[in-house]
Amino acid sequence: MTTTQVDSPEFDGRSPPDLIGYELDDYDLESFLPLVERWPTTRFGYVVTPNVDHLIRLQEDASFRDSYAKADFVLLDSRFAARVLKVQKGLQLRVCTGADLTAALFARLVRPEDGIVIVGGSEAQATEVAGRYGLRKIAHYNPPMGFIRDPASVENCLRFIEANSPFRFCFLAVGSPQQEALAHALSERDRARGLALCIGASINFITGAEVRAPDWMQRHSLEWLFRLMQNPRRLFHRYVIRGPRVFAYLRRSPVTIRQRPASQ
């Protein structure tokens, strides 16, 4: 494992008392897929994909930091954040979005006989995914709204995942920070086996329930603007009011690159 720390010039290698450092892995889709392909079904691990909202929450939510601390892979989901890191710190970091990763796993790695668990989304979406990719061992569970605040509902969800273990992949699609909390709990309980991925709205993109930004907007780090235009009422506060905090957080916080592709 290669570790590189990039600090802001005004700091002496330590985070200010009110901020934490970021730890990220330097993988894009093509360099990460071989690792996913080799992940065994004899041990549990999980993947988180931080976007700008996550980078802000990591500074402000201790329980969210705990979830990230146990993750086996932390893949930068945001091209916008990658541009900010390049400008502010001169750090060139690869991006592997949860949406691209999920689509690639189903299209390129998942075999019909693989055990697949999907948490979140509708039964119709799970059926569509199973039919599109010829999956014969897919288990789907959609916890009730607000389940994360009800210990009994959380326990039911965890038991469902563990009962369908070992799996090759478990796709946690219940939004952040719920999906990261589930992954962390599964790791702490150490009963499930396989790789879990915190993927947000990726199943919606695959099934067409949501539309991703055009390629040119993705390339220019404007996917956030596309999503804002699609749903301004829900996303205005997140992107316009809360989102700008990320500039100060990234500027003032050290960034540690935990892992790079083996060829690096």
- Burial state string for 209-240 with b = 16 or more CB within 10 A and e = fewer than 16: eeebbeeebbeebbbbeebbeeeeeebeeebe
For residues 228 and 53, the model is more confident at 53
Question: What pLDDT sits at residue 235?
Answer: 85
Give tens-digit pLDDT for 79-98. 999 999 999 999 999 999 99
CA distance 50 to 54: 5
Chain mean position to CA 91: 21
CA distance 237 to 243: 8
DSSP state of 82: H
Question: What pLDDT sits at residue 77?
Answer: 96
pLDDT band at 262 (very low <50, low <70, confident <90, very high): low
Question: What pLDDT sits at residue 143?
Answer: 97
Average pLDDT, the chain: 91
Under a CB-based contact definition with an 8 Å cutoff, are residues 75 and 48 in contact?
yes
Using alpha carbons only, what angle is made at residue 108 by residues 221 and 43, rounded to the nearest 5 degrees? 95
pLDDT band at 222 (very low <50, low <70, confident <90, very high): confident
The whole-model pTM stands at: 0.89
Question: What pLDDT sits at residue 258?
Answer: 87
Domain ranges of the chain: 4-257
Of 111-125, 184-198, 231-245, the least confident: 231-245
pLDDT band at 263 (very low <50, low <70, confident <90, very high): low
Question: What pLDDT sits at residue 259?
Answer: 78
pLDDT at residue 21 above 70? yes
- Give residues with Cβ within 8 angstroms of 216, minimum separation 6: none
What percent of the chain has a predicted confidence (pLDDT) above 70?
92
Strand partners, 23: 256
Q: Which of 91, 28, 97 is nearest to 250 (CA)?
A: 91
